[in-house]
Chain A
């Protein structure tokens, strides 16, 4: 099971991409660096991230704000915030198909993080590091299943998401991890190891899609 993505599909914003894996699909856009719209948001030494997430149905609720805070945690560490002092970077997320029941957010967050990463690259925003997210569940038998389906998620004991930075084509440091359910410390460490391997397995495909897009964006004589 892999992922599908389309990069740079919207033309009014600086960067955009769709990301789809295991029936979860999102579209994200990045615009920036822009002038600050509301004076109170201006930060003298770093960029202001204006993140909004819109659900597939209904209007944004606390669930979406919850996702926003988590996404902000990842992005504040990865975007080169000092470079865009007193500027605003606008990140829009539109969920197209959640692919999981309402009480879960792992799959959506994974798709959002990955899609925003591709959009940031497409938008030419300076990053401190490359990163990639993946998620998994631990089922009743203590087995770890990577990128679960909705059914596997509902039958799981705990679920986890991990975001790793990528250095020299290998996953490097843990940027963000979030878990819910009951699990032991050992299990968590095992989960993180597996996530690491999973992210490594994606690397070549991510590189390829980004490279393809860059080839199309510029004229290489």
Chain B
């Protein structure tokens, strides 16, 4: 609806004053992330819901067989749909950031949405997290198109981090139907006939967002060299609105940087950025571990013990 959040001066000062004293409104430390909760919906493959505090994002992965792009005959297609609906917050408009009629009409909200979409796109798709070459079935004729639809449900800051976790865990969990190729004919097996196969995921990029605050007024911001900016991890909505700059860095657990974006007008010393990076890498390790644990638990629930016993090649003696 293009409603803006009006944060009163009192509230602004209160939040900033509290931050200077190392206190956040929800009781976290400055460098503490909110509780990440990954829920895999039991009815199908590749449908997860991630909540980061009160921010909630769903992701559903689906697949179909299509003709590959003309100029890329050996590659499958991978798409991420990250259209933000006003459901998560009246702050976003219908179709504002996409190709709809809202483009250009509205300013900052539309930009915000484009920014979020682009960041997810860069973090997951451009970093080659999903091996698109493995999606090729018959070169130039048939390939898998994998589609990840993000459902933004509730907005309380930091959509990028939450959606990155959602997309990656959904991709890791997804199984596509098994196929058999004979010449140009492709046989697709039903999931009951043959066990569906997982996608080939090369690495798991995870985004971590830092928000920066300047405690010393605007003059210090421009020419000062005190380097005592406040650095927050995983800001909520209010903090995100009030911050002077942010940096999103996407890493995987091999400590490879997949994407990095710093925005906002606050100058940050290079050494502080390095600190952020090494701290992010620690968080990424924890989150990767968490995703794997959730997937393992889900796999244990899904396996049919008796069926597995029957399918075994050898019997217990």
Contact = CB atoms under 8 A, between A and B. Distances in A.
B partners with A: yes
A10 B58 CA distance: 13
Q: Which of A57, A58, A90 has the most CB of B within 10 A?
A: A57
Interface in A83-108: 88, 90, 92, 94, 96-97
A90 B90 contact: yes
Contacts, number: 76
Contacts of A23: 43
23 contacts: A10-B153, A12-B91, A13-B87, A23-B43, A27-B87, A29-B86, A29-B87, A31-B1, A34-B3, A35-B1, A37-B2, A52-B94, A57-B62, A58-B62, A88-B1, A92-B86, A92-B87, A94-B58, A94-B87, A94-B151, A96-B41, A96-B151, A97-B44
A96 B58 CA distance: 9
B83 interface: yes
B54 A11 contact: yes
A189 interface: no
A10 B88 contact: yes
Contact of A97 (B3, B47, B88): B47
Contacts of A13: 86-87, 89-90
B131 to A, nearest CB: 22
Contacts of B90: 12-13, 31, 34, 90
A188 B103 CA distance: 47
Contacts of B37: none
Nearest to A28: B87
A54 interface: yes
B81 interface: yes
A59 interface: yes
Contacts of A31: 1, 86, 90
Interface of B: 1-3, 41, 43-44, 47, 54, 56, 58, 60, 62, 81, 83, 85-91, 93-94, 147, 149, 151, 153-156
B87 to A, nearest CB: 4
Interface in A20-61: 23, 27, 29, 31, 34-35, 37, 50, 52, 54, 56-59
Contacts of A97: 41, 43-44, 47
Chain A's interface size range is 20 to 34
Given A10-B154, A52-B94, A92-B87, A58 B81 contact: yes
A57 B88 contact: no
B147 A57 contact: yes
B93 A58 contact: no
A59 B80 CA distance: 11
A27 B153 contact: yes
A57 B151 contact: no
B43 A57 contact: no
B1 A34 contact: yes
Contacts of B85: 52, 54, 92, 94
Interface of A: 9-13, 16, 23, 27, 29, 31, 34-35, 37, 50, 52, 54, 56-59, 88, 90, 92, 94, 96-97
A59 B83 contact: yes
Nearest to A36: B1
B149 A58 contact: yes
Given A34-B3, A57-B147, A92-B86, 14 more contacts: A10-B88, A10-B153, A11-B54, A12-B156, A29-B86, A34-B1, A56-B60, A57-B149, A59-B83, A90-B1, A94-B85, A94-B153, A96-B47, A96-B151
Nearest to A57: B62
**4 nearest A-B pairs in the assembled complex, by CB-CB distance:** A12-B89, A92-B87, A57-B62, A29-B87
A58 B81 CA distance: 8
Contacts of A90: 1, 86, 90
Contact of A37 (B1, B44, B54, B91): B1
Contacts of B81: 58-59
A29 B155 CA distance: 13
A30 to B, nearest CB: 10
Contacts of A37: 1-2, 93
A11 B3 CA distance: 15
Given A10-B154, A90-B1, A97-B43, A57 B86 contact: no
B55 to A, nearest CB: 10
